[in-house]
């Protein structure tokens, strides 16, 4: 079985002036472990990407965007393409975050094109999937995950599946302080891995699956110790250097 390197990414959402981004990256970047031990990334708003990249230069902290358009270019006012991000030096992109799905009409159909477009441009995608509270309570978690994983990865050849990082983020746990239990998160992440296994057994063994949803220093180690949880996508706790670094530290034992 391939060793899966832990991965911890901080999603800043719509937070961060250039000065704040510079200060936060300056506090984090020199202290992250070597990528062979834990891969680390911050996902900055478009306007702070260049500043974050400059502050992270020469360190092992990667800088990612939070969205992109699937086309290379064209008449799509207000959008940003994958090649525009790689030109800046951005290494990856969050795709299908529940806030984009919920508030900005992100669809599985668009994600089917965004995932291969990101890889083609040299960006590592973090594809987010997860159920709402109502779906969870109605016992529909697996149905929702099956739909999202199958549709969103449909445009990808099996040999590229393991280049995607998948984040299981139950929507009811994002920004709410309500974390899934380690057992709930493990069950869902194992199910996501099995879905990847329906497409390729090799990819299922190699693909990194993160948990996201109110991850904090106090609960990170328990979550990342689970067999099928390879790291964390962290929102609120990534806005403070010490709490983000404590979660990165917890990933070393995961
Ligand atoms: C997120 O933004 O993806 C997230 C999981 O946020 P939080 O950690 O604040 O719940």
pLDDT digits (tens, 9 = 90+) for 50-83: 999 999 999 999 999 999 999 999 999 999 999 9
Closest by Cα among 202, 206, 167 to 188: 167
Work out the average pLDDT over 197-215.
97
Interval between CA 78 and ligand 1 midpoint (Å):
25
189 dihedral zone (left: phi>0; alpha: psi -120 to 50; beta): alpha
- Cite the DSSP H helix spans in 132-200: 133-137, 141-152, 182-199
Which one of 9, 98, 212 would you pick to mutate in the ligand 1 pocket, going by the greatest count of ligand atoms within 8 A of its CB?
A: 212
Q: How far is residue 249 CA from its own chain's centroid?
A: 18
What is the per-residue pLDDT across 133-144, written as a single tens digit (0 to 9) for each?
999 999 999 999
Residue 124 forms beta bridges with which residues? 92
Position in ligand 1 atom list of the atom nearest CA 13: 2
Contact (Cβ atoms closer than 8 angstroms) between residue 172 and residue 101: no
pLDDT at 254: 66
Asked whether the predicted pLDDT for residue 25 surpasses 60, the reply is yes
Residue among 97, 106, 131, 135 flagged as catalytic: 97
| All residues at 6 or more sequence positions from 12 whose CB lies less than 8 Å from its CB, including other chains | 21, 42, 43, 44, 45, 48, 66, 238, 239
Q: How far is residue 186 CA from its own chain's centroid?
A: 17
Handedness of CA 246, 90, 36, 202 (dihedral sign): positive
Tokens encoding 103 = 């508030």
Interval between CA 175 and ligand 1 midpoint (Å):
5
CA 60/CA 42 separation, integer angstroms: 11
Question: What pairing do the DSSP bridges indicate for beta strands 165-168 and 61-65?
Answer: unpaired
Interval between CA 179 and ligand 1 midpoint (Å):
10
Interval between CA 84 and ligand 1 midpoint (Å):
26
Position in ligand 1 atom list of the atom nearest CA 169: 5
Work out the average pLDDT over 107-136.
97
Give the chain's mean pLDDT.
96
pTM over the 0.85 mark: yes
Q: Is the CB of 92 under 6 A from ligand 1?
A: no
Position in ligand 1 atom list of the atom nearest CA 98: 3
pLDDT at 179: 87
Percent of the chain residues topping a pLDDT of 70: 99
What is the per-residue pLDDT across 139-169, written as a single tens digit (0 to 9) for each?
999 999 999 999 999 989 999 999 999 999 9
Q: Is the CB of 217 under 6 A from ligand 1?
A: no
| All residues at 6 or more sequence positions from 1 whose CB lies less than 8 Å from its CB, including other chains | 205
> Band of the pLDDT at 2, cuts 50, 70, 90?
low
Work out the average pLDDT over 209-220.
97
Which residue's CA is the closest to the ligand 1 atom numbered 2?
A: 235
- Can you list the domains of the chain with their CATH numbers? 7-231 (3.20.20.70)
pLDDT at 175: 87
Helix axes 49-56, 18-28, angle to 10 degrees: 30
69 a catalytic residue: no
Asked whether the predicted pLDDT for residue 104 surpasses 70, the reply is yes
């Amino acid at each position: 079985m391939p060793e899966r390197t832990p991965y911890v990414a901080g999603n800043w959402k719509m937070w961060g002036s250039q000065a704040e981004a510079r200060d936060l990256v300056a506090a984090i970047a020199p202290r992250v472990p070597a990528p062979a031990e834990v891969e680390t990334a911050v996902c900055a708003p478009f306007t702070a990407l260049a500043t974050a990249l400059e502050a992270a230069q020469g360190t092992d902290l990667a800088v990612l965007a939070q969205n992109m358009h699937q086309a290379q270019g064209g008449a799509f006012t207000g959008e940003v393409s994958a090649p525009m991000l790689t030109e800046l030096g951005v290494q990856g992109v969050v795709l299908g975050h529940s806030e984009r799905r919920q508030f900005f009409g992100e669809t599985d159909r668009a994600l089917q094109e965004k995932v291969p477009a990101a890889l083609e441009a040299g960006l590592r995608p973090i594809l987010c999937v997860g159920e709402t509270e109502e779906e969870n309570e109605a016992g529909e978690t697996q149905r929702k995950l099956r739909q999202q994983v199958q549709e969103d990865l449909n445009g990808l050849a099996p040999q590229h599946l393991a280049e995607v990082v998948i984040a299981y983020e139950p929507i009811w746990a994002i920004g709410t302080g309500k974390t899934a239990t380690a057992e709930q998160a493990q069950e869902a992440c194992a199910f996501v891995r099995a879905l990847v296994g329906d497409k390729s057994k090799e990819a299922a063994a190699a693909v990194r699956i993160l948990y996201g949803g109110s991850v904090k220093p106090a609960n990170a180690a328990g979550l990342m110790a689970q067999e099928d949880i390879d790291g964390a996508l962290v929102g609120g706790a990534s806005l403070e250097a010490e709490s983000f670094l404590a979660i990165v530290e917890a990933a070393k034992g995961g």
